[in-house]
Amino acid sequence: MTRFVLPIVVFVALAGVLFLGVRNSTNKGTMPSALLGKPAPNFELPALGKPGETVTLAQFAGKPFVLNVWATWCVACREEHQTLLDIASTKAVTLVGLDYKDKDPEALEWLQQFGNPYDHVAVDAEGRTAIDFGVYGAPETYFIDASGRVLYRHVGEMTPEVWRREFIPRIKGTKR
């Protein structure tokens, strides 16, 4: 019986150290991205609910914008939605939604029911553009500067704190 005590104590201590490290990490939503400082991947996708129209990277040339990857099946996307509506109301930057692996009718109903924070919504039904951006899953949010470079990537739910700490300084630091 005593031969099991030491391994259990070591396991509990290690688990406690790992738990505290994750809980106290200041960079929980920041994941390294091979795109940081590099041009955003080019895309041309259908515009949600606007047959025949597209959303392209080229249409944002010369203007910074925020790309938010979301989906109706994503629980955290629902949790961050009010924050996105609040951000949109400030008109601080163009907010582009990338509807990820979703069905158009459900996405349109979602935006009608909860409000549409986006200036443009691109449909990425196959997820290929998300792959180009290195998306692990929804939600993820990117800041792309006026020259089209990816300056920041946030993985997980957007919160007012993340917006103020990570996005606002970058937006203020770029030319419009």
SS (H, E, C) the chain: CHHHHHHHHHHHHHHHHHHHHHHCCCCCCECCCCCECCECCCCEEEECCCCCCEEEHHHHCCCCEEEEEECCCCHHHHHHHHHHHHHHHHCCCEEEEEEECCCHHHHHHHHHHHCCCCCEEEEECCCHHHHHHCCCCCCEEEEECCCCEEEEEEECCCCHHHHHHHHHHHHHCCCC
Report pTM: 0.81
What's the mean pLDDT when you consider all of the chain?
88
pLDDT band with cut points at 50, 70 and 90 for residue 28: very low
Walk me through the domains of the chain, giving residue ranges and CATH numbers.
27-172 (3.40.30.10)
